[in-house]
Structure 1
């Protein structure tokens, strides 16, 4: 069976899929092509969204951050929301935030953080929420993330709350907090460990400050 055009283009522009997943996407070639062949880039990114490939949404966000978004980007992203779940939903909402500037797109991202998606998807949601303006609702959602059963979800939720509090250093540099978030160092969590997570969530909630966006 012939490889779909999006898959071939994706490989040509970004490289090996495993490397993209492991190292993160590198957008320099995409940005170059957007300057020389914008219609082709827009067409291929639309195909990527049709394939529900998160990289297509991330690419639109990257291009919008560099300058004008691809033609019809908002309409394409909104259409992609239908049936979007987990990582793809996070990345489409992230791109819509970049394209529109609308803070309401935090809602879909937050819903994934507190869902039963895999831990890798939930931690990505916690990281993406750093890009949004802190609100009472988002702080509460991230506090739930600090109480998550998975360590990396707790870790990244704590980091985003620290960013909301205006702290540059991550939770690993706040040793008392980190010891609570990282408990237990090995083995299964106990109620004592979960109580430490709750304490950390309460401390971070007190540090973070909701802000309004005007209007």
Structure 2
């Protein structure tokens, strides 16, 4: 810690141990800012440069009073790519307050998903319960509920309960013994149950049954490819399959309006017949704006639950998440050639935006890369198609993998790092993943 910032921090907030144990008294900083605003802001900038979360918390407190420097968001954005642990959590929290972009929630989730100190993971779990519900936050809390550290499990479970609107904590719940026990299978059961509370979040009627509506049943995060759905036209439920294929149902709006067609009944009718619904009336008068709104509502609802499913932990993990691994989601029983394939690298998700792979192409890319590594050819790492477009990495002959996780956040740079890997472990992960994917095609 720099001398100037360290001295200022001690003067304003007190002894470092007390700050760590009891939290920073931002009221003292606000008072100091009233007395000497220029100096206080200069010191807070220095604190951000030192990656001190207390400086970020202080800027957040000033922002809530409308007194933060005008470039606070830019300052924090510039610090985020190299942020770690609690500093990353606080920086993302304050940026969310300032900007309101859900991707900053994912920055907090990444700390809980990762392999930092257990105290940092606890801090992330506690922060997520105060942030908006997103698929990534639910998936991270679900994963945290079967963390090896008991307190991480405890606070992750509390996070899921709080986001579900419960007023009690896991210590007051009958499942507390399972969370605090030593049986990983029991942890997973509780995690799935707590996540399941959100399965009805998007369920219900979208639209107006008297004209056009889609009624969705609860989501199944472990088996996400089919879902109960009823369709109503002019007050009548249409006959059809009890459980629709989610990828097709999700695209109901696309099928109806692509490439540039109005959402009137003839186009909608063709789509519903394609989805397997029968006995459609010859003519129904629908309001195009209301129909478009219903189609959009169904898409948003299904997208949320699809995303929870693709980010949640799965039973099929190949490799070591702290080094290199591929986490593979369940196969689509209807034979879709798309499948969740999440790449983990150096303790972090390296496919943070698109972890859905086209299996034939992805499998071929894995096998080609594995063969090249076996032959001692140090090709660019993870050139495996669109799934890994947000990762740039180079493998060196000594086993050092230098990588960039490309950012899509405005004003936020790429996150870089390096990890030492053995060729045999890379090849083993790639070949095993390819075998698993082709076995279930």
Q: How far has the Cα of 1:76 moved from its partner? A: 0.8
The one of 198, 207, 210 aligned to 2:197 = 207
Between structures 1 and 2, the one with greater strand share: 2
Within-5 A mapping of 1:1-215: 4-174=3-173, 176-184=174-182, 193-208=183-198
Separation of aligned partners in 1, 2:116 and 2:144: 13
Aligned residue pairs, count: 201
Task: Flag structure 1 segments of 5+ consecutive residues without an equivalent.
Answer: 185-192
Could you list the per-position Cα deviations for residues 46-69 of structure 1 after superposition, in whole angstroms to 9, with x for gaps in the alignment?
A: 000111111111211222233343
Separation of aligned partners in 1, 2:90 and 2:49: 14
Separation of aligned partners in 1, 2:101 and 2:136: 16
Between structures 1 and 2, the one with greater helix share: 1
Is the CA contact (8 Å cut-off) linking 1:164 and 1:208 kept in structure 2?
A: no
Q: How far has the Cα of 1:137 moved from its partner? A: 2.4
TM-score w.r.t. the length of structure 2 is: 0.44
Is the CA contact (8 Å cut-off) linking 2:89 and 2:124 kept in structure 1?
A: yes
Q: Secondary structure at the match of 2:166?
A: coil
Separation of aligned partners in 1, 2:59 and 2:101: 16
Task: Flag structure 2 segments of 5+ consecutive residues without an equivalent.
Answer: 203-299, 301-441
Separation of aligned partners in 1, 2:124 and 2:180: 19
Q: Alignment RMSD, CA only?
A: 1.8
TM-score w.r.t. the length of structure 1 is: 0.87
Could you list the per-position Cα deviations for residues 147-193 of structure 1 after superposition, in whole angstroms to 9, with x for gaps in the alignment?
A: 1000000011011111111112211111x221111113xxxxxxxx1
Separation of aligned partners in 2, 1:51 and 1:140: 31
Separation of aligned partners in 1, 2:123 and 2:172: 21
Is the CA contact (8 Å cut-off) linking 2:106 and 2:136 kept in structure 1?
A: no
Separation of aligned partners in 2, 1:38 and 1:87: 26
Q: Secondary structure at the match of 1:131?
A: coil
Q: RCO greater where, 1 or 2, for CA within 8 Å and sep 6 or more?
A: 1
Is the CA contact (8 Å cut-off) linking 2:32 and 2:40 kept in structure 1?
A: yes
Separation of aligned partners in 2, 1:163 and 1:137: 16
Separation of aligned partners in 2, 1:6 and 1:71: 21
Separation of aligned partners in 2, 1:208 and 1:16: 43
Is the CA contact (8 Å cut-off) linking 1:42 and 1:71 kept in structure 2?
A: no
Is the CA contact (8 Å cut-off) linking 2:102 and 2:134 kept in structure 1?
A: no
